Amino acid sequence: MKEQIKDMSQWLEAMSVSTEQYRARMDGGIYGHFEEVPDIYRPVLETGRDGDGTYDYARVLNRGKDWLIEPLRTLQPQSFQAFQEVVGPLLLGIVLIKDLMNPEGPPLVTPVMFFDASGRMVEVHPDFPGNTYEEGNDRFGTLLALPDALAKSWLWRVEGWRLPSEPFQGPIVNRRLIGYQWKDADNYLDSLGRGWKKRYLPLIVERFPDTKTNLNGIKRIEFSCFLDTRPAGLNGPVGDQLFVCLTRRDQVVYHVHQGDVENMRILRDPADAVDRYCAHVLRRLPGEFDFSPWSEPMKT
């Protein structure tokens, strides 16, 4: 794939969701306040399909855009300014999906929280009530591995962000912004193509031996990608990926460009780099963002 795709620019536009596309797919409506949501949909949003709780759509939606992005004001000022200039209000869309287990019954009510940023959908994933970083949940220490300026801005009040390639998309693929399900090294290497994990996972373990863990029989390489610039649906050694060691609290951010794992680099001032990258994405600026001014070789 590296020989086939060297410039992702065309893919960044083609594999995103336009205003027209999300409006056409959200057949249950789009709402700016929870009180606007029809009563028929509210039980699922308030208690979940099984009555065992759900994500905090109601509170986050009612508090709105200004409340949600306020932590970015001083920690991610470029992104905050982009939100002020090119991003619309916080919205909740309802996608109705046929229930394959009960085809004759009512459709499944599926909420999607998002912004319209420069005519393109940016999805926000709320957390469970009382479960945010602001309220004391650091996700078993995961967020302590991330630079404070990122964890206490983008992930302070919600679980994560992404640019989907479809108006409704499952939770596994999180691309283009700081996601809510980070990929460990082995899963990332699998996304590069056949043979990459076999070749490069031992190298990562050699460089970061403390990231190899075994908790209650669950083996992991806790070297995790929190931001992947590839659009959803595009794999292979292209774009940029940013990693942290979940077993450490040094908040160092590691940088892989176009799959060059062997020559992995470190981001200097990662808060500024990510801030300017996210502003680039929100503003829908052409071409790939260039991380090279902040990227420097690892010391061996």
Quote the number of domains for the chain. 1
In a domain, residue 195? The reply is yes
What would the two tokens of residue 256 be? 């892989």
Determine the length of the chain: 300
In a domain, residue 80? The reply is yes
Please say if the pLDDT value at position 49 is more than 70: no
pLDDT of 36: 96
Please say if the pLDDT value at position 1 is more than 70: no
Per residue in 225-242, pLDDT (tens digit) is: 999 999 998 999 999 999
In a domain, residue 2? The reply is no
The helix (H) or strand (E) run that includes residue 163 is: none
pLDDT of 53: 62
pLDDT of 3: 42
Per residue in 97-118, pLDDT (tens digit) is: 988 888 888 888 999 999 999 9
In a domain, residue 3? The reply is no
Q: Is 120 within 8 Å of 167 (Cβ atoms)? A: no
Q: How far apart are CA 48 and CA 58, in angstroms?
A: 12
Question: How far, rounded to the nearest angstrom, does the alpha carbon of residue 228 sit from its chain's CA centroid?
Answer: 8
In a domain, residue 63? The reply is yes
In a domain, residue 201? The reply is yes
In a domain, residue 178? The reply is yes
Q: Is 127 within 8 Å of 38 (Cβ atoms)? A: no
Q: What is the pTM of this model?
A: 0.93
| Buried b / exposed e along 202-235 (16+ C-beta atoms within 10 A) | eebbeebeebbeeeeeeebbbbbbbbbbbbbebe
State the residue range of the domain holding 20. 9-287
In a domain, residue 295? The reply is no
Please say if the pLDDT value at position 135 is more than 50: yes
Mean pLDDT, the chain, whole residue set: 92
